[in-house]
Amino acid sequence: MRILLTALLATCLVCAQERPISVILDTDIGDDIDDALALSFALQSPELKLLAVTTVLQDREGRASLAWKILSLFGRTDIPVGAGAEQPLIAPVRTGKVRQVEALGPLDHIPPGQIRGGIQLIVDTCLNAPGKVTILAIGPATNIALALRAEPRIKEKIERIILMNGFFFKPGLEYNTRIDPEASAIVYGSGVPVTAVGLDVTMQCKLTAADMQRIERSQLPSAQFLYKLIRIWNGGNDEKLPVLHDPLAVGVTFRPGLIGVAAGSVEVETRGEPNLTYGMTVLRRDANGKIHVAEEVSSREFIDLFLNRVLEAPRK
């Protein structure tokens, strides 16, 4: 009987490890190029089950259409798209064009009836999921903060929040935190387990010219569209190479061994001077802390994983 129970337990553990991780991806796609690369990487990773994509900040329809276009290229328009908050909670209002929308043709825009409210989509997806959900927030944390405030019950349905957020081991500001410091503070202080991948490690994940040639030479429509977005983002400057900030957060979701982490709590400066200290992140180390902050990364291993996945034919 003991042998039978041991075998049964081992089988259950294998099944648990093979079960895809249910994920909501929250993104400010259309600004930096890494969001589009991250969405493509998530779609090409069988370890993940993408339940919903939500967008944040201005030009809600444009950002949602970019996400929709990429979902279409990978044959995944069954995944709902939600447009979330247009502006940060308190920080200065966001204006200006989302440049990568220029890549969309007349037929690429998401049908109006397909756009959901982003914050409600996060809430509903968490509450209706049969198990716990991982939230992957690769833009400013505005939507996640608003969802946590709107429906506190979702805390019990969130396995972990994985953020591309912060700059922890030397002074500096990171974009997602700086754009909405108050939202980041809410998420870090929510009590939900958090893994933060900050600029300290993501800056080590820069594509090379040879990596770019692999993307350029691909005949896949999905890779060709990503290359088109890259050229819009870098203005045709071959020396401006993508850094895989957001794709690293995706990779860490299913392969945590890509990074080494420090545990503790995180404080976000919400009263400092804009562009100086407002939005700075401070890690308070504590071995028992619920927040894990990346402090090292196996960069080449990750880049190769990313390229191999994104440059494969779309998964069925």
pLDDT at 17: 53
Backbone angles phi, psi at 116, to 5 degrees: -100, 165
109 is catalytic: no
259-268, strands of its sheet edge to edge: 115-117, 81-83, 48-55, 21-27, 133-137, 158-164, 194-197, 291-297, 259-268, 281-285
Q: What is the DSSP letter of 283?
A: E
Q: Which of 82, 19, 72 is nearest to 43 (CA)?
A: 72
pTM: 0.93
Note down pLDDT in tens along the chain; length 316 residues: 444 333 443 344 344 457 999 999 999 999 999 999 999 999 999 999 999 999 999 999 999 999 999 999 999 999 999 999 999 999 999 888 899 999 999 999 999 889 999 999 999 999 999 999 999 999 999 999 999 999 999 999 999 999 999 999 988 999 999 999 999 999 999 999 999 999 999 999 999 999 999 999 999 999 999 999 999 999 999 999 999 999 999 999 999 999 999 999 999 999 988 889 999 999 999 999 999 999 999 999 999 999 999 999 998 7
Residue among 287, 283, 202 nearest 248 (CA)? 202
Q: In terms of CATH, what superfamily is 19-310?
A: Ribonucleoside hydrolase-like (3.90.245.10)
Closest by Cα among 222, 247, 213, 223 to 37:
247
Contact 79, 64 (CB under 8 A): no
Distance (Å, whole) CA 272 – CA 308: 42
CA nearest neighbour of 27 among 246, 219, 225, 236:
246
Rounded to a whole number, what is the distance in angstroms from the first to the last CA of the chain?
41
CB atoms within 10 A of CB 214: 15
Buried b (16+ CB within 10 A) or exposed e, 76-109: beebbbbbbbbbbbebeebeeebebbebbeeeeb
Task: Please give the Cα distance from 294 to 263 (Å, whole number).
Answer: 9
Q: Which of 303, 296, 306 is nearest to 200 (CA)?
A: 296
Among residues 245, 281, 302, 303, the one annotated as catalytic is 245
Domain ranges of the chain: 19-310
81 closest CA partner among 132, 39, 45:
39
With b meaning 16 or more CB within 10 Å and e meaning fewer, what string describes 35-56?
Answer: bbbbbbbbbbbeebbbbbbbbb
